[in-house]
Amino acid sequence: MHPRQSQHLRRSGHPCAYQRPEFPPDECHQRLLACQRGTNTLPGTVSSPDRFVRAYFFDHHVEKTGDSDLGLSIVRSILYNVSVPYTYTAGEANVSSTQWRSFANIRDRLYYFDIVTNPGIFYVDLNKCDLRPGAPVMKIDTSKSKDYIGDVTSKLFKTQPFTPMY
């Protein structure tokens, strides 16, 4: 934070100027950016902390809505903003290109997927799925088709549960 910004916050009585939070530096950085309320200081690198700060900032500065279509558009735009371009290589151990994005409409029980090599997003309607204990495990094989768009619930098929390698 620039010293003038800090002085302004202290003079204005803004709570961020007085609180000395007891959490890790990355979270402190994110909180300070949120307190600044400005887009000129948003970090723009592909590092995870920078992407998190941008997502946090936009999540707290977009319209809250009950309209599921508008909400989906807002969430998608935030996720696109914090994605790392496909095939980007930084040569850093903790940076990888975004290969897919997933998000949920909890109210309407829709689970969305956006695979970067597919032409559109698709979703599973959990209202149409048997989620009771003992129900068969279902999956969709995204390697078999790039044409998945919209509701793919009917394309789910029974499979064996995932077995971890360890």
Would 163 be classed as within a structural domain?
yes
Contact between 112 and 105 (Cβ < 8 Å): yes
Alpha-carbon span 5 to 17, nearest angstrom: 9
Q: What is the pLDDT of residues 126-135, one digit of tens each?
A: 999 999 999 9
pTM of the model: 0.72
Q: What is the pLDDT of residues 74-91, one digit of tens each?
A: 999 999 999 999 999 877
Would 143 be classed as within a structural domain?
yes
The residue with tokens 């829709």 is 110
Would 153 be classed as within a structural domain?
yes
Would 110 be classed as within a structural domain?
yes
Alpha-carbon span 143 to 91, nearest angstrom: 27
User: Binning pLDDT at 50, 70 and 90, where does residue 35 land?
Assistant: low
Please tell me the total count of domains within the chain.
1
Would 18 be classed as within a structural domain?
no
Contact between 68 and 108 (Cβ < 8 Å): yes
Would 36 be classed as within a structural domain?
no
Provide the residue range defining the domain that includes 118: 99-166
The DSSP letter of residue 104 is E
Would 6 be classed as within a structural domain?
no
One-letter identity of residue 79: L
